[in-house]
Structure 1
């Protein structure tokens, strides 16, 4: 049965499963979604060939907090399309969204705050006029944690690693960075091929991948053309709260939320939401809870880039710029 928006119910279930674990065997995904492995693989390859869905190795909040400074940068409205295309081609510009207030960039740097300052000079060197820049004190949630919610809880459990034990120590930051580069090119790359690229044994490569993922340094999942799944509307909410950390945590748990940051500013809460209609904003804000004052709302007119993937007007991946910062 097909949804009105382009994906079938089975497609959505497969995508949700891959959001949870992008490296899971087709047999485990098949068991979770109630289909055979051949059918699951066929549906996935059809979506991938149409650029409606793609696998990705996401940089996580844990990795950002360990080695990265992030800024949310607002450009003046009316920035030329050629400038936005040039900015989207930069590996340290992780996302580009056109909003009702101007183009919004997510910029990353690993060389401390002076490097963020240098990034701003490079943005301006492309011909962009920076209207506002907010440095992140913390990234609480980002796109890799957003879920379609097509699976029932029992199906989700089949996709999760339920092995007991303490969370392992992550590999060294430089190893994580090298592994992220390898997986970014092919998130389902077999352990033997990863070992060849890292110059280690297959067993070491497998343990390194498992440790990095279990420690939250890398999240291997999938992304998709949001309009095809019915999510044709997005918004950015700015807010202040009596307890910003608690409010950010509540925002991150909302079904519609895909990005949450605590920034340095008068209204420090930065929240990206996606929905089927902007009329849902009132309910989203009400669900956020008490003690939160929303100070501004921007409509997302178009997503141009997300986690290294260039997007067309229908949200499909039409190119890749490997993230590097």
Structure 2
């Protein structure tokens, strides 16, 4: 594994700001992090060039619930590296993690459960033995909701665009899809360029993006090489609770949780957590609640793919694979 430089306080603050609002002007980001705009832009350019941080259009829980079926698929640990790489490059594989139980992939489909089944079979046809498939009843939190928690509330308020609505009538689904397509490669694309792609005025394009974001149908954020921020360990918790929905909602509020789902299975609660040390797991579970029965714990050995980006052994983005499902 290549050594990574630890991100400094300003780097982490910039990433947190862009997690909150990827399209915020550098002047507003600078006001929030306490630096001038030129310095902020220079630091961001260095982060991008080193593949330590990157902008992303995330598939949000709202998009999952409205249009998508999802399954967690566990591959046999003996699956070859070439087969895993080929599977990770499939556009409807949203994420892939090498764990102590095998490679766990998140498969999505928008054509119903039959299509989801076909996609799992397509994974198997690429040389992988599928050991387990769990269909999601709900995705409660995805990586789009995870934050570094570096900026204070006052700093976060400085990021707010007073002209952007907190609530707005969402655009039509097909319009959201067009906007997502336009911003997928460059979430900071100027409104004028978005307008040209959509065939509308610049003002309409700006309002459409703002409405899609406010409605939760489009989330533009920032991802990073987790080890560079000190998050060198990860785990997946499988649990039960008499109140699965309430337990999942509480899990989504845990600072360490970046992925939460309710699955159809013996242990329906699925929670992915990030930590600085695996010794933190007991504290994380205690914070989750007394009514939680954790039935299994898998260690994440390394991330392979996360929301459209293939990761190297150090957690840096090495290649972008656009998501289509």
Mapped pair 1:320 → 2:316: no
The residue number in structure 2 matching 1:237 is 237
Question: How far apart, CA to CA, are the structure 1 residues paired with 2:293 and 2:5?
Answer: 34
Question: How far apart, CA to CA, are the structure 2 residues paired with 1:151 and 1:304?
Answer: 28
Q: 1:312 to 1:286 in 2, by over 3 A?
A: same
The residue number in structure 2 matching 1:36 is 36
Secondary structure, in 3 states, of the residue corresponding to 2:23? Answer: coil
Q: Tell me, yes or no, if the aligned pair for 1:136 and 1:261 is still in contact at 8 Å.
A: yes
Question: How far apart, CA to CA, are the structure 2 residues paired with 1:88 and 1:240?
Answer: 29
Counting only pairs closer than 5 Å after superposition, residues 74-93 of structure 1 correspond to structure 2 as 74-93=74-93
Mapped pair 1:146 → 2:146: yes
Q: How many pairs does the alignment contain?
A: 322
25-34 or 167-176: which moved more? 167-176
The residue number in structure 2 matching 1:212 is 212
Deviation sequence 1:274-309 (CA, Å, 0-9, x none): 000000000000000121100000000010100000
**Structure 1 residue ranges (4+ consecutive) displaced by more than 4 angstroms after TM superposition:** 161-166
Unaligned runs of 5+ in 2: none
CA drift of 1:162 comes to: 6.0
CA drift of 1:52 comes to: 0.2
Question: How far apart, CA to CA, are the structure 1 residues paired with 2:107 and 2:113?
Answer: 12
Deviation sequence 1:121-176 (CA, Å, 0-9, x none): 11011011111111111110000111111111211122235669662121111111
Question: How far apart, CA to CA, are the structure 2 residues paired with 1:312 and 1:181?
Answer: 25
The residue number in structure 1 matching 2:271 is 271
Deviation sequence 1:38-73 (CA, Å, 0-9, x none): 000000000000000000111100011110011111
Mapped pair 1:307 → 2:272: no
Note the aligned Cα RMSD (angstroms).
1.3
Q: TM-score, normalised by structure 1?
A: 0.97
The residue number in structure 2 matching 1:293 is 293
Q: Tell me, yes or no, if the aligned pair for 2:165 and 2:210 is still in contact at 8 Å.
A: no
CA drift of 1:91 comes to: 0.4
Q: 1:310 to 1:211 in 2, by over 3 A?
A: same
Q: Tell me, yes or no, if the aligned pair for 2:166 and 2:214 is still in contact at 8 Å.
A: no
Question: How far apart, CA to CA, are the structure 2 residues paired with 1:124 and 1:27?
Answer: 49
Question: How far apart, CA to CA, are the structure 2 residues paired with 1:273 and 1:161?
Answer: 31
CA drift of 1:78 comes to: 1.9
Question: How far apart, CA to CA, are the structure 2 residues paired with 1:71 and 1:161?
Answer: 37
Question: How far apart, CA to CA, are the structure 1 residues paired with 2:93 and 2:160?
Answer: 31
Question: How far apart, CA to CA, are the structure 1 residues paired with 2:180 and 2:145?
Answer: 17
The residue number in structure 1 matching 2:9 is 9
Counting only pairs closer than 5 Å after superposition, residues 116-265 of structure 1 correspond to structure 2 as 116-161=116-161, 167-265=167-265
Q: TM-score, normalised by structure 2?
A: 0.97
103-112 or 145-154: which moved more? 145-154
Q: Tell me, yes or no, if the aligned pair for 1:5 and 1:230 is still in contact at 8 Å.
A: no
